[in-house]
A and B are shown apart, each in its own frame.
Chain A
Amino acid sequence: MKNPFDILGVADDATDEAIKKAYLQQVRQYPPERSPEQFQLIRAAFDAIKTQQQRLKYQLFYHEPPALNALLERCLQMGTSQQRPTPELFTQALADSLKF
């Protein structure tokens, strides 16, 4: 499972305002009526770290080991320069994917 900071996309030392802003941004992207499960995750993450006290509690007492998936996804989202593929690469990828 991702940690709350990762879910909201904020740094460990983010302030209350930054966290709230990130939370509202996420909620706009995943509103409860459209993405109920994702919204639950976002809400739980916000509740876990919304105040300084909550953040300290989390940092002191949370002891579930971080999942590899969380690390991998963070790594995977670290792309800097997105590019358009060449037509050749596109066709090669499509050819590899075709099951016939």
Chain B
Amino acid sequence: MRKNKKNSPNRIVEMSPAKAADLLADGRYKEAIDAYKQLLKQQQRDDWQAALAKAYLLRAQALADKGMYQEAAVLWENRANFCQDNEFIEHYIDWLIRAKRYVKAAHLVTKSTEQLSPAMLWQIQAQFGALLVAGQTDLESAFDPEEPLLKQYALVKKALAAYCQGDDKTAEDFLKKIPFRSPYRDFRAILKALIDPNSAEQLLDKVPADSPYAPFTQLIRMTVPHFESLSEGLSQLTPNELTFLAQLKGWDKAQLKTISALQSAAKRNSQKALLEMVASQRHFLGDNYSRPFCLALLPSYPAGIKFYEKTFGSLSVFERNRLAALNYERQGQLLRAEKHWFTCFENLKKHPEETDHALKAALILRHIVELIEKLGEVFDDENVPGFLAESLRLAPNDKTSYLKIIQWNKHNGETKNANKWIDAAVRHFPEESDILLIGMEWATAKKAFKKAAGFAKTLLKVDPINIKARQIARTSHISHARKLIKSGKYELARKELQQAAQFEKTNQRSGVVEINQALLELQALGFVKPKRRKTKTSPKEVAQSKSNKVAKPKSSAEVIPAVELLREGVQLAGEGMLGLFQATVESQSQSLNPADILSFISPLKKSYLPSRQEVLKLIQMINTFSEEGNTSLEQPVKQLKVPLTKSAKLDFSLEEMLSICQCFKKLSKKPNDLLALFAGQALKKWPEHPALVFYKIYAKANGFFWKITDPEIDRLHQAAETAKQQGDKRTHLMILEFLNPIQGRLAPTPFSIPFNVDDMEDIEAEIKSLDGMNPDNMSPIEMMKLIDILSRLEEMGLEIPEELDIPIFPRPRRKKKS
């Protein structure tokens, strides 16, 4: 259609230089060209000529950017004619090549060699080289036969011919003759990669991204084994490229057809399409591959089961249920999945003699347990131990199942079963560290020290540097030794202590063994005797205990070794209060009177002031003894009250003070002067620190919330709030638990609380003290006291007196087992 000239802007608007310059600046190059042409008709000005030349060039570049290379070349020619020069000729040559005017470009290159930079010339020659190799033989006439481009092309042809005939040696010989800086350098790398596929990746990496051979290099990469994204690359190939690749890969027509069908299925992007496609190609792919492939699609596409069965035959009941279970798992419907898995298990049980049925059944049971774990109900589901036990019966060699069944039983307080499974696990996995560790800890908790020591020793054989095992072995031997000493089996006890000594490093002896050895010898010599238990106090026993005084040894020489051993142990435990503490605790553990033992040790000097390290070490010792189950630490600590009181002013850090206070809090609820002292001292340095505020008030109230004043309650609430804001959840909860004893008491415990007559008498007295009080008008303390009484009454299983029957917080429900 002809343009309506009447609409041309040139005819309507008279052009001004400013307007022309604006058009050029705005990138409206075509209009700028027309504008400057118009201006130049009026007047030949150098600046307008330069502007026109620029407009031509920029328009040409803009067209080239759009892929309109022919048009770009024409505009360059217009510019060249106008300017009578060949500036920017490299662009022109490039556009000519891209416009497939190769011969013209080649002639131009030959004429314009001096105008081109060496790099640009090389790049253009590389392009011509690639064109020659790609069959543009008419280019040969554009160059002098002596040109390196043509001479090396002859080598390239021979190398290629040799390669295609399979004569790799000849091909390589010709390739070696191609100079390093040849325009055929990248072709050489490509042909070498084809000859030697093992080095292909390295060789192809040498072809730069701006090389004319770069796209061909990508094609060659597809021939390398395990090339990623092969399938994606295939869809972008031309038929010639695909045929080329197919020959190199050894693909036949049937294969290419299958590939094409697969690519079509990929475009449809559905499981249905894939299933049908693979089924249709199964003769090519083979049944051995197609069948499992299609089967693997069914959990995500259960609607395909009918099609599958029509193609490959009926599925078994087991398989149908397995697919259903997997489908439900994919949907997150774990209970339904569990049901189908159980059907699978039942199915396998019917034919246990078949290969792998037992193992499969075991795996399914374990898988069911995993599903229950995912539901978060594993400890509430009473089927779990049964499933795991049965799975172990079918296939015993599974450590995880043992660990799970032990954990389940421990969690649910099934002590006997836990013990049974720990023993079974250790028998089956006698050298597994985690099993032995559980055995060790369990035996220690049950005070089966000999057993614990046995586990520890086995673990140390497997893992000689296991610190925990070493510690437990030592402790277990010592604990067992104590038992033997109490039974008067001194010789056996000596052996136990000798064994305990083996688990201490020579340069890190704690003194515990030496002290216990000393106590043993003192008892063996009859120098000291254990105290009788208070609970059994027949008159005869009372009379006997009165005669339980320290007896003089037959000769002092007999006792010296024992005393020296005791002193050695005390020294190893640490000078000062540490040794004293250790000796006191060990004496108590053997039911000896500490005073008798301490009489052999130099007492602490009045001026003795423990160091910061000693205090911290003492705290560590107390905590260790607590962890070992020792509950009689209050008295030994009380004996150190004087030096500890002095040490309260030492320069402890905040963390150290908190650790000390925590330790003293755990020791006792009764007048806890040390806790009060340390907390008070710490508060001077860290006023209103929530945990320290709590410890101070707690100590003052001896741990009873009803003994605190209203201001103290307020202060504690404030401290709790501060702790919460500081992210100190532990302190926050600790304070709340203290302030709200109901929450602490309403959670039912698995053990029945024995009824204590003393408690009842206390409560009756307290109930009486509430006479005359108006429940609607009680102070916070009175209210809390009342609530505490009611809680204790409920715990004891007693009826709440009518006058006290007020609503209290409901008990939290325990999750029911299915």
Contact = CB atoms under 8 A, between A and B. Distances in A.
Interface of A: 3, 11-12, 38, 52-53, 56-57, 60-66, 68-69, 71-87, 89-100
A71 B294 CA distance: 11
B364 A75 contact: no
B133 to A, nearest CB: 6
A53 B136 CA distance: 62
Interface residues of B, number: 72
Given A90-B160, A97-B241, A65 B97 contact: no
B600 interface: no
A91 B127 CA distance: 14
B252 A98 contact: no
A90 B244 contact: yes
Interface in B268-310: 271, 274, 278, 285, 288-289, 292-293, 296-297, 299-301
B689 interface: no
A45 B114 CA distance: 61
Contact of B300 (A12, A63, A80): A63
B251 A94 contact: no
A75 B258 contact: yes
A68 B300 contact: no
B212 A84 contact: no
B326 A61 contact: yes
A65 B133 contact: no
A71 B293 contact: yes
Those 6 A-B pairs whose CB atoms lie nearest each other, nearest first: A79-B250, A93-B244, A82-B250, A95-B134, A63-B326, A63-B299
Interface string B5-23: 0000000000000000000
A66 B127 CA distance: 44
B164 A87 contact: yes
B52 to A, nearest CB: 29
A89 B230 contact: no
A53 B363 contact: yes
Contact of A71 (B250, B262, B299): B262
Interface of B: 97-98, 100, 127, 130-131, 133-136, 157, 160-161, 163-166, 212-213, 215-216, 218-219, 225-226, 230-231, 234, 238, 240-241, 243-245, 247-252, 255, 258-259, 262-263, 265-266, 271, 274, 278, 285, 288-289, 292-293, 296-297, 299-301, 322, 326-327, 329-330, 356, 359-360, 363-364, 367, 395
Given A65-B300, A78-B255, A91-B135, A57 B219 contact: no
6 contacts: A71-B262, A75-B259, A76-B230, A92-B244, A96-B238, A98-B212
Contacts of A62: 296
A60 B240 contact: no
A57 B131 CA distance: 57
A82 B250 CA distance: 4
A29 B611 CA distance: 63
Interface SS of chain B: helix, strand, loop or mixed?
Answer: helix
Nearest to B322: A60
Most buried by B among A69, A76, A81: A76
Contact of B262 (A75, A78, A80, A84): A75
A76 B259 contact: yes
Contacts of A71: 262, 274, 278, 285, 293
Given A12-B292, A63-B326, A79-B250, A72 B262 contact: yes
Name the residue in B157, B240, B241, B363 with the highest tally of chain A Cβ atoms < 10 Å from its Cβ: B240
B244 A89 contact: yes
A64 B292 CA distance: 13
B251 A76 contact: yes
A83 B160 CA distance: 14
A99 B255 contact: no
A63 B330 contact: yes
A89 B135 CA distance: 10
A82 to B, nearest CB: 4
A73 B238 CA distance: 19
Given A66-B296, A84-B164, A91-B134, A74 B250 contact: no
A64 B216 CA distance: 36
| Most chain B CB atoms below 10 A, which of A12, A52, A91 | A91
Given A12-B292, A80-B252, A98-B134, A75 B161 contact: no
Nearest to B94: A100
B401 to A, nearest CB: 12
Contacts of A38: 226
Nearest to A70: B293
Contacts of B258: 75
B408 to A, nearest CB: 21
B241 A69 contact: no
B356 A65 contact: no
Nearest to A11: B288
A52 B296 contact: no
Given A68-B265, A69-B231, A75-B258, A85 B248 contact: yes
